[in-house]
Amino acid sequence: MKPTVFERLAPPDSVIKASLEGSVNRPFWLDDVGERPSYPTLQGDEQADLVIVGGGFLGLWTAILAKEREPQRSVILLEGHSLGWSASGRNGGFCDHSITHGEENGRTRWPEEFDQLEALGHQNLDEFEATLKRYGIDCDFERTGVLTVAVEPYQDEALRGPDYLSAARIRAEVDSPTFLSGHWRRNTTAMVHPGKLVVGLARVAGQLGVRLFESSPAKGLQEVGKGMRVSTAEGSVTAGRVVLATNAFPSLLMRYRLHTIPVYDYVLMSEPLSPAQLASIGWKNRQGIGDMANQFHYYRITRSNRILFGGYDAVYYFCGTVDPKYDNRPASFEKLASHFFTTFPQLQGLRFTHRWGGAIDTSTRFCAFYTLAFGGKVAYAAGFTGLGVGATRFAANVLLDKVEGRDTERTRLRMVREVPLPFPPEPIAYPTIQAVRWSLNRADHRDGKRNLLLRTLDALGLGFDS
């Protein structure tokens, strides 16, 4: 197989090892916000109009939007661990307008409504920004856009178009010897600090009157009269309506357990760059960056001039469990550090302070699906597949439309009405996914050429991504 640029120009092992020494295995973002308010455990039996299960971005946005729509409605949110501890506190902080996991996926699956999906996605990002301003949520929101870069000659073709940047022009934006060409989509994406966003959304939800509970995992969902009861170890909430926002964790709706699988993604955060280090790579306009292979990297700069560098390995563990033991994967961290110094050889000597992993809720269509259960009393969305920072806010609106029984532009979308095919159960899932991962890696070493397995899955509209 043909070696990739990251294999051809790999730095010495000593550089990789030194850069990771002393890094801690926990998400930077939550560390960076310091002491956070904590919320009580649910004890005893409570009543509400709406109960939300899950306290990541999806649950928090649902809580805020529910109160904004109807301030008198009583809303309880139950988080099994602590607010935002999972994907919402571990991501890259790319807040994209796309609600379809990018243009290619959206255009291929829903060509007739793609323009509408794009417009709704832009509207969502504008409203996202306006909400932050309205409530004074400071989460380092910077609408700097995103650079997509070709690092192998075969990737150049897909970038040709009005925004095309030649090697010289892309390297004038950010100076990496791996960049062959690129484009800059300016208004489509913002960078955020996910930890600060979690804290800010939780504060606003509390101020609007949402009752937030942590360490309160929902164990069961039961129909009682006209409502539903959600039970936890020490209490329960009886409510007219339920929204399930549990992401990569096992769904409380058994029939959707195979509609997502947890895929682990790994991330490094560097120490702050000195002014000289920053000058050596340019990066004045502070865009997010993504490269283009099947196994891709995403990287961005933080307000304090650290670099977050993540992606490439997307790991599925047998039986699809979410488990803290998977947060540490030395082989992935070493690979990321190696690829980082191939991308920025000028930065040799820079150290990483944090390394972590997190579960992504992958669906076979790469973007969220939306369902109702129990005669319309329970709404559920999952499957954001690595692009949920912005899309969870759109999904929150869809879930509220659905659970309120409203017929809206959103609920009429084919994207919202269709539910994707599930993944196969174990023991079939693991070897199938390994075969797909092997094929994707092979394609990355063969100028992007896809083998029969990938072409078949493409034709069926199925796949595996992060």
Ligand X SMILES: Cc1cc2nc3c(=O)[nH]c(=O)nc-3n(C[C@H](O)[C@H](O)[C@H](O)COP(=O)(O)OP(=O)(O)OC[C@H]3O[C@@H](n4cnc5c(N)ncnc54)[C@H](O)[C@@H]3O)c2cc1C
- Based on the shown chain and the rule CB under 6 A, indicate whether residue 392 belongs to the binding site for ligand X: yes
- Based on the shown chain and the rule CB under 6 A, indicate whether residue 55 belongs to the binding site for ligand X: yes
- Which CB, 54 or 182, lies closer to ligand X? 54
Q: Which of 66, 360, 378, 396 binds ligand X (CB under 6 A)?
A: 360
Total number of residues that touch ligand X (CB under 6 A): 42
Asked if omega into 427 is within 30° of 0 (cis), the reply is yes
Scan for tokens 């609408």, then name that residue.
143
- Based on the shown chain and the rule CB under 6 A, indicate whether residue 320 belongs to the binding site for ligand X: no
Residues near 13 by beta carbon (within 8 Å), at least 6 away in sequence: none
Q: Using CB under 6 A as the criterion, what x/- string covers residues 238-277 for binding ligand X? A: -------xxxxx---------------x-x----------
Q: Strand, coil or helix: what is 379?
A: strand
Q: Which of 387, 399, 413, 436 binds ligand X (CB under 6 A)?
A: 387
- Based on the shown chain and the rule CB under 6 A, indicate whether residue 46 belongs to the binding site for ligand X: no
Q: Around 21, how many Cα atoms within 13 Å sit in the side-chain half-sphere?
A: 8
- Based on the shown chain and the rule CB under 6 A, indicate whether residue 444 belongs to the binding site for ligand X: no
- Based on the shown chain and the rule CB under 6 A, indicate whether residue 80 belongs to the binding site for ligand X: yes
Q: Which of 65, 212, 218, 436 binds ligand X (CB under 6 A)?
A: 218
Q: Strand, coil or helix: what is 433?
A: helix
Q: Which of 6, 33, 56, 171 binds ligand X (CB under 6 A)?
A: 56
CB 58, min distance to ligand X, A: 4
- Based on the shown chain and the rule CB under 6 A, indicate whether residue 53 belongs to the binding site for ligand X: yes
Q: Strand, coil or helix: what is 356?
A: strand
E strand intervals along 324-416: 352-362, 369-373, 378-382
Q: Which of 5, 52, 78, 159 binds ligand X (CB under 6 A)?
A: 78
- Based on the shown chain and the rule CB under 6 A, indicate whether residue 54 belongs to the binding site for ligand X: yes
**Distance, CA of 142 to CA of 129 (rounded, Å):** 10
CB 242, min distance to ligand X, A: 11
* Rg of the chain over all Cα atoms, to the nearest angstrom: 22
Q: Which of 74, 93, 301, 333 binds ligand X (CB under 6 A)?
A: 93
Applying CB under 6 A, the span of 33-41, 77-85, 140-148, 157-165 interacting with ligand X comes to: 77-85
CB 310, min distance to ligand X, A: 6
CA distances from 227 to 67, 223, 459 (A): 19, 6, 42
Which structure tokens are listed for 347? 């930065």
- Backbone φ and ψ for 203, nearest 5 degrees, come out as -60, -45
H or E stretch at 342: helix 330-343
- Based on the shown chain and the rule CB under 6 A, indicate whether residue 77 belongs to the binding site for ligand X: no
- Which CB, 258 or 435, lies closer to ligand X? 258
Give the residue from 304, 298, 303 showing the smallest Cα distance to 266. 298
- The secondary structure of the chain in percent helix, strand, coil, rounded to multiples of 5, reads 35, 25, 40
Which structure tokens are listed for 43? 């004890």
Under 8 Å between Cβ of 328 and 357 = yes
- Based on the shown chain and the rule CB under 6 A, indicate whether residue 79 belongs to the binding site for ligand X: yes
- Which CB, 188 or 247, lies closer to ligand X? 247
CB 452, min distance to ligand X, A: 30
Question: Which of the 8 DSSP states describes residue 273?
Answer: P
Q: Which of 62, 86, 124, 277 binds ligand X (CB under 6 A)?
A: 86
- Based on the shown chain and the rule CB under 6 A, indicate whether residue 384 belongs to the binding site for ligand X: yes
Q: Which of 227, 388, 420, 463 binds ligand X (CB under 6 A)?
A: 388
Q: Strand, coil or helix: what is 423?
A: coil
- Based on the shown chain and the rule CB under 6 A, indicate whether residue 106 belongs to the binding site for ligand X: no
Applying CB under 6 A, the span of 110-118, 135-143, 380-388, 424-432 interacting with ligand X comes to: 380-388
CB closest to ligand X, residue no? 388
- Based on the shown chain and the rule CB under 6 A, indicate whether residue 200 belongs to the binding site for ligand X: no
- Which CB, 102 or 448, lies closer to ligand X? 102
- Based on the shown chain and the rule CB under 6 A, indicate whether residue 132 belongs to the binding site for ligand X: no
- Backbone φ and ψ for 80, nearest 5 degrees, come out as -70, -25
H or E stretch at 377: none
Residues near 323 by beta carbon (within 8 Å), at least 6 away in sequence: 317
Question: Which of the 8 DSSP states describes residue 54?
Answer: -
- Which CB, 145 or 390, lies closer to ligand X? 390
Residue 458's region, left for phi above 0, alpha for psi from -120 to 50, else beta, is alpha
The residue ranges that bind ligand X (CB under 6 A) are 53-59, 78-81, 85-88, 90-94, 96, 217-218, 245-249, 265, 267, 298, 310, 358-360, 384, 386-390, 392
